[in-house]
Amino acid sequence: MEKENVIAAGAIPVAEDGNLISANKKLGGVVTIIGTGLIGGSFALVLKDKGLAQRVIGVDKNIEHQKKALELGIVDEILPIEEAIAKSKLIVLAVPVDALDKILPVVLDQVQDQVVMDMGSTKENVIALVAKHPKRRRFVASHPMWGTEYSGPEAAVKNAFTNKAAVICDSEHSDPDALELVKNLYKQTGMHLIYMDAAAHDLHAAYISHISHITSFALANTVLEKEKEEDAIFELASAGFESTVRLAKSNAAMWVPIFKQNRENVLDVLNEHISQLRKFKSCLEKENYEYLEELIEHANGIRKILK
């Protein structure tokens, strides 16, 4: 066992300014990142940048991603999953949530005292899936609240997580040392931590992330359907349009499983959203501009929340 592994993460001294005291760098020890794309790649980059990992091993079923992750310095080596797990102190799963369901139990089957964390966008499903696993307590369920519409190792960004929130779910079902390691790593990457149960996470995620993707996909399809003059879109599209539609570039392989796993919450929000849009439609149909103004002024209430 490597030296860093025997330091209890919870005991790691952290300087006043929140930085690790240098003698205690390499907090994460040898880290395996399963899925070296946008999220896993970004996490690997910040671990390396801040000296939080002694070495980063990549596991990825996509050969092109393996090559790219090595080439971009995201990982130090690529290994088969069993070998990578055996050599690591921490295993990070950063794969689409359907793949997560398949890989997490396999990983837990192989761990001794390693820590396993995921970064998936839905939490109820995966947590239920491993609830009875004998190694459940080595697992910390988390979701860093960051992403872009791009994917793959090239999309990874070193400072992705700075000042963003990381949600940790159902933390009482994780061993204290495992939890401390994950908490410390997130803090060291510049994130602040939020704790909630998996059901609350999935509900909130439907509102502040999943519905935005659906509206953006639907808006792209609206424009692509009706606006045949692509040159006109290209020339005229202003920052406002780009802002509301950019998430429509997001990957189906990532998003279909999220919508599937968070189906009920997403349907609930989507129904509400369609009914809100119908109010706008009705105002225009009936030329009720007073109510249209009210609807807009109500929407302006979002200013209180998003500065």
Instruction: Tell me how many residues contact a second copy (CB under 8 A).
Output: 94
Could you tell me the end-to-end alpha-carbon distance of the chain, in angstroms, rounded to an integer?
A: 48
Residue 222 sits in the site that holds a second copy (CB under 8 A): yes
Stretch that binds a second copy, among 19-27, 35-43, 65-73, 270-278 (CB under 8 A): 270-278
The residues near 194 (Cβ < 8 Å, ≥ 6 apart) are: 165, 166, 167, 168
Footprint on residues 60-89 left by a second copy (CB under 8 A): none
Q: Min. distance of Cβ 41 from a second copy in angstroms?
A: 17
Applying CB under 8 A, which of residues 167, 178, 182, 191 lies at the interface with a second copy? 167
Footprint on residues 276-305 left by a second copy (CB under 8 A): 276-281, 284-285, 287, 289, 292-293, 295-305
Residue 168 sits in the site that holds a second copy (CB under 8 A): no
Residue 102 sits in the site that holds a second copy (CB under 8 A): no
Give the Cα separation of 229 and 239 in Å (integer): 19
Give the Cα separation of 66 and 35 in Å (integer): 9
Task: Say which amino acid occupies 52.
Answer: L
Residue 172 sits in the site that holds a second copy (CB under 8 A): no
Applying CB under 8 A, which of residues 165, 173, 190, 199 lies at the interface with a second copy? 165
Q: If we measure between CA atoms, which residue out of 55, 252, 43 comes closest to residue 156?
A: 43
DSSP characters for 176-217? HHHHHHHHHHHHHTT-EEEEE-HHHHHHHHIIIIIHHHHHHH
Identity of the residue, 130 or 156, whose beta carbon is nearer to a second copy in the bound complex: 156
Q: Min. distance of Cβ 171 from a second copy in angstroms?
A: 16
Tokens (6 digits) for 241: 């349009």
Residue 247 sits in the site that holds a second copy (CB under 8 A): yes
Give the Cα separation of 272 and 81 in Å (integer): 43
Applying CB under 8 A, which of residues 164, 177, 187, 199 lies at the interface with a second copy? 164
